[in-house]
Amino acid sequence: MNQNHLSLLLLFLLLPQVYSQVCQRFCGDIPLRYPFGGGPGCGDPRFTKHVTCNQRQLTFITHTGSYPVTNIDYDKKVLYVSDPTMSSCFCTQPSKGFSLDWDAPFSFDDSSVFALLDCSLDSSPIYKGAVNGNITNVPQCDNAGTTLCSSLYSCQPISQLNVPINTCCVYAPVDLGPAFEMDLQKAQCKAYTAIYSFNDQEGNPEAWKYGVALKYKFNVKNDYPIYCSNCERSNGACAFTGIYNTFVCNCPSGVNTSTDCYFQSAWNSGLILSPWVNGSLILYSIMLLLFWISW
């Protein structure tokens, strides 16, 4: 093989690949849409380290642990997670608490309520917060949570803690300070529960929905990106590639395009492909032809 042959072969091998992995459309029973992708290179790159799909289980990850995702409301832009260490009306167990990464594109939804259980009477649960420009301990118990605590103490597992009802502390709405940190050890509490819906049965804790509701935000105005909307409308999945996380539309066949997946129906019908894919295939064909002619 002479130098010209080698140069052509190297150029052919270095051409950008048209085909890639296929992004998942579901993780278990949960549909995956922007900004979630369930795997490397899929979805919004700012979300990939926080929400992953592993063995059909969608998981939310923070520095305090990994939590199963139970549902995603794409209309409200709310992610629902459960904490295996969390107590409820059906069981009580010790926990270290729940926290968010301060730089993650998530915050607590207004529907989320935290109730800290079996807290020390010597110290009200606190977080480090800013008051008049100074960092200080800020009490967080909500005095209006007495009714909620009374309902929780009607649950047999919680009543068996055999501690006074005033050791229950309610955070509503949830505000854990600038670090989004709920450290039960520092708060001198042994357990907690989280509720995101009372199902219109405030007095019946067995009917409540236990878990944490998290709002997510993918840009300043939270507007759905038009290029991503067009991609999903064509049965594609929003994805990204390269060191600059450039947007690509990942099609069911594994083809990545810079626009959408409508070209696939054109391919099946013998029509013209979209310029990006058509140009790539033509370039491949030319390089192959030149390589064999020069051999």
Note the pLDDT tens digit of each residue in 131-155.
455 545 545 676 556 789 999 999 9
Residue 188 has φ and ψ, to the nearest 5°, of: 60, 45
Q: Is residue 75 part of a domain?
A: no
> Do 276 and 157 reside in the same domain of the chain?
no
pLDDT value of residue 16: 40
Please report which confidence band the pLDDT of residue 280 belongs to, taking 50, 70 and 90 as the band edges: very low
> Do 255 and 187 reside in the same domain of the chain?
no
Note the pLDDT tens digit of each residue in 163-211.
888 888 888 767 776 668 888 888 888 999 999 999 999 899 999 999 9
pLDDT value of residue 140: 60
Q: Give the number of domains in the chain.
A: 2
* DSSP assignment of 198-236: -TT-TT-GGGSEESEEEEE-SSSS-PPPHHHHHHHHTT-
Contacts of 217 (CB under 8 A, 6+ apart): 77, 105, 106, 107
Q: What is the number of alpha carbons within 13 Å of residue 256 lying toward its C-beta?
A: 18
Parent domain of 126: 84-216
> Do 131 and 210 reside in the same domain of the chain?
yes
Reported in sequence order, the residue ranges of the chain that DSSP labels E, i.e. its strands, are 26-27, 30-31, 51-54, 57-62, 65-73, 78-81, 106-108, 113-119, 126-131, 134-139, 169-171, 189-197, 209-210, 212-216, 237-241, 246-250, 256-257
Which of 199, 216, 233 lies at the terminal end of a domain, its last residue?
216
Query: Distance between CA atoms of 9 and 28, rounded to whole angstroms?
Result: 43
Note the pLDDT tens digit of each residue in 54-92.
889 999 999 989 999 999 999 999 999 999 999 999 999
Note the pLDDT tens digit of each residue in 212-248.
999 999 887 888 899 999 999 999 999 999 999 999 9
> Do 208 and 93 reside in the same domain of the chain?
yes
CB distance 100 to 106 below 8 Å = yes
Q: Is residue 145 part of a domain?
A: yes
pLDDT value of residue 128: 47
> Do 256 and 205 reside in the same domain of the chain?
no
Q: Is residue 69 part of a domain?
A: no
> Do 237 and 150 reside in the same domain of the chain?
no
Q: Is the pLDDT of residue 275 over 50?
A: no
pTM: 0.78
At position 129, the amino acid (one-letter code) is: G
